Chains A and B, each alone.
Chain A
Amino acid sequence: MGNWRFLAIAVSVAAATFGVGVWINLDYLFFAGYVILQYVVLATAWNILGGYAGYMNLGVSAFFALGAYTTVALETALKLPLPLTIPAAGVVAGVVGLGMGYLTLRLKGIYFAIATLALAVVAETFVTNWDYVGGSAGAYLLHPLRGPWFGSYTEYLFLLMLILATLSIVVARAVERSWIGYGLTAIRDDEGAAEASGVPTLRLKLFATALSGALMGMAGAPLPYYVSFLEPASAFNLGYAVTTIAMPMIGGTKTWLGPLIGSLLLATTQQVASVTISSEVNLLVVGVLLVGFVMLAPNGIVGWFQRR
């Protein structure tokens, strides 16, 4: 299936999802659906680098929170509306990814992973010290009750995240099936051999890091409006990183379908569990699932259906 046909199908599915949402017209559904879609974007974005190329980004919360704080900064400075801060957040997070990647991607993947983990701590330090965006006290970003065109503001945020999720899946699939995707897969399987066969490994890794970081930043951009009150400790919460990494691990990391399945399953379970059970137990479940799938099912759920 070509990319354009897939785009048409993805857009129809998204439109149908939104249509059903509008028909049910329950604000809580948009509220919970937003979080699920946010994880679809995060998991899909993470998988472009982590799944295709095998380079593990442990600093998901850093990219995500940088996106959120880009919105806070631009709202405070220029009163920019959300549809404009989302691409800006993508640029900021993408550039940070590119810079980090440039310094560490020439080495073994382990070093990149450690550096991203440390990045989360440093980015948090930086934002905590930056009083303009609220510093350690946090920032309020109150949204109007109504969306700009129709429905509630939550419905509007849901729609934006639905567009982002559709976009990231289409992009991830297009990358996967292009020469870039094949190059990234070659890097994952044997980087030395890939380099020797003429795959521009560093350039491909940098591209994947920047793209993946940019999508994560874009996923974080609407967060300040969604939570109304943003402070560094919750924006940089490690839970975002663990949950995001667990999703492709559960679904399967080799195709775009894996993170989609993993994120829909895990995020929906979490939404149900956080209402019915405590949030700590919720996090415990995510941790157990991550460790369990990594140990016992290296190819995830998608792997169960691919008999070779």
Chain B
Amino acid sequence: MTITYPLLVNAVITGLLMGGFYAALSVGATVAFGLLDIVNIAHPTFAVIGAYAVLVLNRTFNIDPILAGLLLTPVFYGAGTLLYRVYYHFFERRGDDAMRGLAFFFGLMFLAEVMLIMLFGVDFRYVQAPYITTTLNYGPIALPLRLAVPFAGSLLMLIALELFLKKTFIGHAIVAVAQDPFALRLVAASPVRIKRIAFGVACASAALAGAFIIVIEPLQPAVGRDFIGRVFAICVFGGLGSLPGTVVAAISLGLVENLTTVFIGPSWSPAVAFGALLATLAWRPSGLFGRS
């Protein structure tokens, strides 16, 4: 295959845009994993649940999918805090139970998938919005709004989260709970409450990420699983819990994956994330922006 200039530029643009979306999808997992020490492998599946909720809102009330995702964030925040209560009660409180917690989330992921199949079937579903079918053309370069709108939304969401973590008291407390929960007690903040809020925020981000998923591509209950490798490759490569690291890692993965899709073949792109994950674990487990 000959590598033409427009083909390359378009592959880079698509990769960049997908990378932004990957960052939005991964940020909740990296907050939970890196800052709270909760390995929520069900996070991509939570986003898929969000995507189906968006689908229902879009189909019944004709609401714009991304607005629907935004409207769902409080619901997901509430569900997240509730889930953290359960997790805390059964796993964290007992101490060294990270593995059982993992089996718990694995079971949840599977349950969610089976229930989505029972409710919606295994057909591919999609939403309607004016920008999904529009592509802006600048000469040979194409900018599909289907990818550009979620990209912009992802960036806004990440900026909002970074401001929340860096500028508010609760945000500082969330970063602190990762470093020294005992010190947090000394300033009269409950680590459990802070973690509950943080986990709620992480789950709320899944609602928006879900809206992006269904704007970008048709939806099917099992797609969440395809994202697990990518999400955790990004989490680890970005240095757990670092938002700028997540963005850099996500965009690099998006780029490499898309170049692979265009120049080697689309069926090989899932192997890219896995390769990146294994390489990172083998040579730089603390990630690009890791602390240690």
Q: Is A206 an interface residue (CB 8 A)?
A: no
- If over half of A's interface residues share one DSSP class (helix, strand or loop), that class is named, otherwise mixed; here it is helix
Report how far A100 CA is from B274 CA in the complex, Å.
11
**Which one of B107, B115, B226, B267 contacts A291 once the chains associate, using CB atoms below 8 Å?**
B107
Bitwise interface map of B from 112 to 129 toward A, beta carbon under 8 Å scored 1, else 0: 011101100000000000
**Which one of A113, A242, A284, A287 contacts B102 once the chains associate, using CB atoms below 8 Å?**
A113
B267 engages A245 (CB within 8 Å):
no
Q: Is A21 an interface residue (CB 8 A)?
A: no
Q: Is B225 an interface residue (CB 8 A)?
A: yes
Bitwise interface map of B from 227 to 252 toward A, beta carbon under 8 Å scored 1, else 0: 01100110010000000000000000
**Which one of A115, A121, A283 contacts B270 once the chains associate, using CB atoms below 8 Å?**
A121
Do A284 and B111 contact each other (CB < 8 Å), given the known contacts A129-B267, A245-B106? yes
B270 engages A122 (CB within 8 Å):
yes
**Which one of A110, A119, A242 contacts B98 once the chains associate, using CB atoms below 8 Å?**
A110
Q: Is B201 an interface residue (CB 8 A)?
A: no
Do A103 and B229 contact each other (CB < 8 Å), given the known contacts A125-B271, A245-B103, A283-B114? no
A118 engages B111 (CB within 8 Å):
no
Q: Is B281 an interface residue (CB 8 A)?
A: yes
Q: Is A210 an interface residue (CB 8 A)?
A: no
CB distance from B82 to the nearest CB of A (A): 14
User: What residue of chain B has the Cβ atom nearest to residue A108's Cβ?
Assistant: B98
A107 engages B285 (CB within 8 Å):
yes
Q: Is A249 an interface residue (CB 8 A)?
A: yes
Contacts of A113 in B (CB 8 A): 39, 41, 99, 102
CB distance from B26 to the nearest CB of A (A): 13
Q: Tell me how many residues of B have a C-beta within 8 Å of chain A.
A: 43
Q: Which of B39, B106, B228, B278 has most chain A Cβ within 10 Å?
A: B106
**Which one of A115, A119, A287 contacts B111 once the chains associate, using CB atoms below 8 Å?**
A287
A298 engages B102 (CB within 8 Å):
no
Do A121 and B274 contact each other (CB < 8 Å), given the known contacts A109-B98, A284-B111, A284-B115? yes
Q: Tell me how many residues of A have a C-beta within 8 Å of chain B.
A: 41
Q: Which of B260-284 contact A (CB under 8 A)?
A: 265, 267-268, 270-271, 273-274, 277-278, 281-282
CB distance from B230 to the nearest CB of A (A): 9
A287 engages B39 (CB within 8 Å):
no
Q: Is A290 an interface residue (CB 8 A)?
A: yes
Report how far A129 CA is from B39 CA in the complex, Å.
31
Contacts of A283 in B (CB 8 A): 110, 114
User: What residue of chain A has the Cβ atom nearest to residue B230's Cβ?
Assistant: A118
User: What residue of chain A has the Cβ atom nearest to residue B103's Cβ?
Assistant: A294
User: What residue of chain B has the Cβ atom nearest to residue A291's Cβ?
Assistant: B107
**Which one of A107, A118, A129 contacts B233 once the chains associate, using CB atoms below 8 Å?**
A118
Q: Which of A242-290 contact B (CB under 8 A)?
A: 242, 245-246, 249, 280, 283-284, 286-288, 290
Q: Is B289 an interface residue (CB 8 A)?
A: no
B225 engages A121 (CB within 8 Å):
yes
Do A115 and B90 contact each other (CB < 8 Å), given the known contacts A121-B226, A294-B103, A295-B104? no
Do A117 and B41 contact each other (CB < 8 Å), given the known contacts A242-B110, A295-B90? yes
Q: Which of B114, B273, B278 has most chain A Cβ within 10 Å?
A: B114
Extra contacts, 12 of them, besides A110-B39, A298-B100 (Cβ < 8 A), are A56-B103, A104-B278, A109-B98, A114-B232, A115-B277, A121-B229, A239-B110, A280-B114, A280-B118, A283-B110, A284-B114, A290-B103
**22 A/B residue pairs, CB under 8 Å, sorted by A:** A54-B99, A55-B99, A58-B102, A110-B98, A111-B281, A111-B285, A114-B228, A114-B232, A117-B229, A121-B225, A121-B226, A121-B228, A125-B268, A126-B271, A129-B265, A129-B267, A238-B113, A239-B110, A242-B106, A246-B107, A284-B114, A291-B104
- 10 tightest Cβ-Cβ pairs between the two chains A and B: A118-B229, A287-B111, A291-B107, A290-B107, A122-B274, A295-B90, A242-B110, A103-B282, A125-B270, A114-B232
Chain B positions within 8 Å of A, measured between CB atoms, are 39, 41, 86, 90-91, 94, 97-100, 102-104, 106-108, 110-111, 113-115, 117-118, 222, 225-226, 228-229, 232-233, 236, 265, 267-268, 270-271, 273-274, 277-278, 281-282, 285
